[in-house]
Amino acid sequence: MTALLQHIIDALSVGSTYALLALGLTLAFSIMNLINFGYGILLVWGAYGLLGLTEAGLPFGVAVILSVVGVTLLTMIIGRVAFRPFIGAPPITLLITSFAVLQIVQYAAIVAWGEKPRIINYPPAFTDVLHIGALRVPLLEIITIGTAAVVVLVYFVILNRTPLGSKVRAAAELPDMTRLVGIRPGTVQMTVFAISGAIAGVVGVLWFAKSGAITPRSDLEPTLKAFIAIVLGGLGNTRGALLGGFALGALEVLMSVTLPESVLGYEPAIVFAIVIAILILRPSGIAGAKVNPA
């Protein structure tokens, strides 16, 4: 029983990280057809920002806020400079563009921080472990689940309760009509980049608290996880993306518990094989709903 509870908490925590990753990507797809290969590198930049600011002596909380703001701005700049000229192009052109953007932003990280792995000094709240009876719950898991809940809540409030959010939802549903009633596509796109970037900033803080060292090439794993989650949930479907993230987390924990040692190494292959199978059997994802940003 305790073991089961332990696994459920693990799965929720891993799943909420993936759900946030997917949330940051999926809105850009429903508004702009953008599947961002360079999403993981935003996390990396956020983590480097946090590293630099904490090393400069700023309190951790302030550094987190500043780094999230920094990643948001970086995402908006990249979006304005690199992606906006391609909006309206088929998804594949944007996918290649984002792959090219990744090469550039990654090189910037290499120049700025070097190839050597770096480690952020997280406060004890991120590393302590809570003991409840026989249960061992790392505080980081609780922080992750809590943060995810807050971010998702804020996301839905922004999209459903603010004028800007209505514009974004309108643009996702009827892009041409939205233009006709005088909503500028540029405003909508920049809002989407800002939301996407802010989420990347938050996930970056959580991701590297768990995985430890940052290198300029740590971006691939989060990007792949995010791709898997949005494919599982159905491209462009926000609720699906969240569900896809949690499903991926549950799947990973389930596999690590049930698979024999000898097969465990093949976990990434198995996960991707499942993704491809889902792409083929249910192209609209496990949620299978229409495009729905909120």
Partner 1 sequence: MNLPISFQRDRVPGLRGLAGALVGPLIVAALVCLVAWVVYDSFPSMQIIVLLFGINLVMVIGYQLFVGSTGIVSFGHVAFMALGAYAGGISAMSVTEKSIFLPELPGFLANLELPILPAMVFGGLVAAIIALVVAVPLMRLSGAAASIATLGLLVITNNVLNQATALTHAPQSIYGIPEVTTLTWVLVAVFAAVVISAIYKWSPAGLRSRAVRDDEMAAEASGIHMLSARVWPFVLSAFLTGAGGALYAMLLTAFSPQSFYVPQIVVILAMAIIGGINSISGGLVGALLITALNEVMRRIEGGSSLFGLHLSAPTGISAAVLGVALILMLRWRPEGLFGSAELQLGRDDRRKPESWKGQGLVEAPPGPAVKSNK
**Residue indicated by tokens 């790392």:** 138
User: Amino acid identity, residue 46?
Assistant: G
Which residue's CB is nearer to partner 1, number 90 or number 163?
A: 90
Cα 286 to Cα 34, 222, 226, 240, 275, distances in angstroms: 21, 21, 15, 7, 10
- Write the Ramachandran bin of 222: left for phi over 0, alpha for psi from -120 to 50, otherwise beta: alpha
Which token pair is 233? 């949930």
In whole angstroms, how close is the CB of 283 to partner 1 at the nearest point?
7
User: Amino acid identity, residue 7?
Assistant: H
User: Amino acid identity, residue 35?
Assistant: I
Task: Say how far apart CA 229 and CA 244 lie, in whole Å.
Answer: 4
Cβ neighbour number for residue 192 with a 10 Å cutoff: 25
Site string for partner 1, 97-116 (x = CB under 8 A): x-xxxxxx-xxx-xx--xx-
Which residue's CB is nearer to partner 1, number 15 or number 216?
A: 216
Among 142, 255, 279, 286, binds partner 1 (CB under 8 A): 279
> For 119, phi and psi rounded to 5 degrees?
-125, 130
Stretches 4-12, 64-72, 80-88, 183-191: which one binds partner 1 (CB under 8 A)?
A: 80-88
Q: Is 117 in the site for partner 1 (CB under 8 A)?
A: no
Q: Is 291 in the site for partner 1 (CB under 8 A)?
A: yes
> Binding to partner 1 (CB under 8 A): which residues in 169-228?
217, 220, 224, 227
In whole angstroms, how close is the CB of 252 to partner 1 at the nearest point?
14
Please report, as ranges, the residues that interact with partner 1 according to CB under 8 A.
Answer: 33, 35, 82, 85-86, 89-93, 95-97, 99-104, 106-108, 110-111, 114-115, 217, 220, 224, 227, 231, 234-237, 265-269, 272-273, 275-277, 279-280, 283-284, 289-291
